[in-house]
Structure 1
Amino acid sequence: MTQQKEEMTLTEHLSELRKRLIYVLSIFILGLVAGFLVADPVYQYLTKAETAQGFVLHAFSFWDGIGIYMKIAGLFSLVITLPFTVFQLWKFVSPGLRPRERKATLQYVPYVFLLFLIGLAFSYYVVFPMALSFTSSITEKMGLVETYGMKQYFSFLFGIVLPVSLLFELPLIIMFLTGLRILNPIRLRKMRKVAYFVLIFIAVVVTPPDFISDFLVMIPLLLLYEISVFLSGFVYRKQLAADAEAESRYIRAEDKQSVV
């Protein structure tokens, strides 16, 4: 009987997970449709921006233009879908949370969109111009004529902007996982060396191979991790206080029953 109940519970969980994934996929598809509507103005802005001035972009295949529009639509859909995905994740795990934890973790969802936009602005207006300037200077020193395809230009752009933007979600993700009691500041401090190594590696990979560019990206990433540890500690202390209060109420209730 118990085994059958566990199997039904597992089936219900899988059914709930499938429902949440369908919701996320539906929003992503709707975001793609909306993304195609804004793809042209976004493309015009990106190609007329200061970083793109001086470049004449070429189409080397019939599908280059459509491919760029699809990438822009995909990025737009990702921005729209990301907070909704986090909300669906919260809906999936919330039945196993205490009421206090359920309320505490829900408040992180709106900030997913805000942090992604901040990361998007930082990567586009700071990191990408540095990378483009460095590669162009090397090309100029080699005496080469800069002739770029639009596909290569936007692949280079999105290859830098998207990873850095997602990394700006780190503090929120760690707070969310701390709220779910998966992480805590003690564990984060123990894995600080490994985390630093990973973040430095990411900074070196997504930036031009010069120390200044690496340093300008590396410092914000390391600060993001330390902010994440601090915020995790804040959430963790509130959890301990709530647990202590609940235990105190339980002890008082037990004492009253023993007196009766």
Structure 2
Amino acid sequence: MRNPNDQSALEHLEEMRTRIIRTLVAFVVAMAAALLYVRDIYEWLVRDMDRPLVLLGPSDVMWVYMMIAGCIAVAVTLPVAAYQTWKFVEPALPDRARRPALLLIPAIGVLFVAGVGFGYFVLFPMVLQFMQNMAAGSFETMYTAQKYFTFMIHMTVPFGFLFEMPAIVMFLTKLGIVNPVRMAKARKMAYFALVILAVTITPPDIMSDIIVIVPLFLLYEISITISKVVYRKQLRLANADSGSSLAPQD
């Protein structure tokens, strides 16, 4: 069997094209499956609305359904894309990073769903309620379907990617790109960036900020802890290898 490292640049590009096509096929299949049940999903997403959403044009309903199906397809396709990426870069990875990278693939899907769930069940209703309270008594509220779901996506999908932080840190630690010492030194800057992010996406009240800031800080601390575990294990393996190489030979 030919060594993948011996492939030419053209062969690498061909393999990349193949894996991109497989990922796109998975996305299309997942989106088609989501479209079969998109009306039921829509009804579940608007179950708490006390009035129907408004459509301003005949194409708006298609936009809403496509956005719902697209978000579901992204969540389903993300592990597939991670696996295809892993298969493409596997020959270039050091042996110590191959198995952890493979084990991260299901974690990527779980973390993404957890992040979206946090945004949908915690952040989105909190911000929506705040906006409704601001408008109460002064405005007649009438939500269009397009505006409502655009707002929902902005409050949920970014957290799906933010929750990937522990998995990414674990992998980068395995590669030696980051380590817990560097992350600990960068804690103040990281906290500052996370606070700016939280304040930007939440209503201007301290409780809303805290509800979002605390999980983001916890994610960073969990990432540091994971990096420590991986880093210490790598040091033990390195010390064991150096000790065995210095041991006297019979």
- With normalisation by structure 1, the TM-score equals 0.87
Match for residue 121 of structure 1?
Answer: 117
- Does structure 2 retain, via aligned residues, the 8 Å contact 1:32–1:76? yes
Determine if the alignment matches structure 1 residue 227 to structure 2 residue 222. Answer: yes
* 1:51-91 residue CA offsets vs partner (Å, 9 max, x unmatched): xx224311001111100100011111111111111222222
SS of 2:50's equivalent in the other structure is coil
Q: Distance in 2 between matches of 1:160 and 1:199?
A: 15
> Is the alpha carbon distance of 1:167 and 1:82 closer, same or farther for their aligned partners in structure 2, counting shifts above 3 Å?
same
Shift in Å, 1:7: 11
Q: Write out aligned runs for 1:89-128 (5 A).
A: 89-128=85-124
Q: Distance in 1 between matches of 2:56 and 2:44?
A: 22
Q: Distance in 2 between matches of 1:175 and 1:135?
A: 38
Q: Distance in 1 between matches of 2:39 and 2:25?
A: 23
Q: Distance in 2 between matches of 1:24 and 1:12?
A: 18
5+ long unaligned stretches in structure 1: 1-5
What amino acid maps onto 1:19 in structure 2? Answer: T
Q: Distance in 2 between matches of 1:32 and 1:197?
A: 37
- Does structure 1 retain, via aligned residues, the 8 Å contact 2:96–2:174? no
- Does structure 1 retain, via aligned residues, the 8 Å contact 2:119–2:155? yes
Match for residue 62 of structure 1?
Answer: 58
SS of 2:204's equivalent in the other structure is coil
What amino acid maps onto 2:35 in structure 1? Answer: F
Q: Distance in 1 between matches of 2:27 and 2:198?
A: 29
Q: Which moved more, 1:38-47 or 1:204-213?
A: 204-213
Give aligned pairs, total.
Answer: 246
Match for residue 30 of structure 1?
Answer: 29
* 1:25-65 residue CA offsets vs partner (Å, 9 max, x unmatched): 221121111121121111010111x3xx2243110011111
2:161 pairs with one of 166, 187, 200: 166
- With normalisation by structure 2, the TM-score equals 0.91
> Is the alpha carbon distance of 1:137 and 1:61 closer, same or farther for their aligned partners in structure 2, counting shifts above 3 Å?
same
Shift in Å, 1:173: 1.4
- Does structure 2 retain, via aligned residues, the 8 Å contact 1:105–1:180? no
5+ long unaligned stretches in structure 2: none
What amino acid maps onto 1:119 in structure 2? Answer: G
Q: Which moved more, 1:146-155 or 1:88-97?
A: 88-97
What amino acid maps onto 1:236 in structure 2? Answer: Y
Match for residue 3 of structure 1?
Answer: none
> What is the CA RMSD across the aligned residues, in angstroms?
2.0
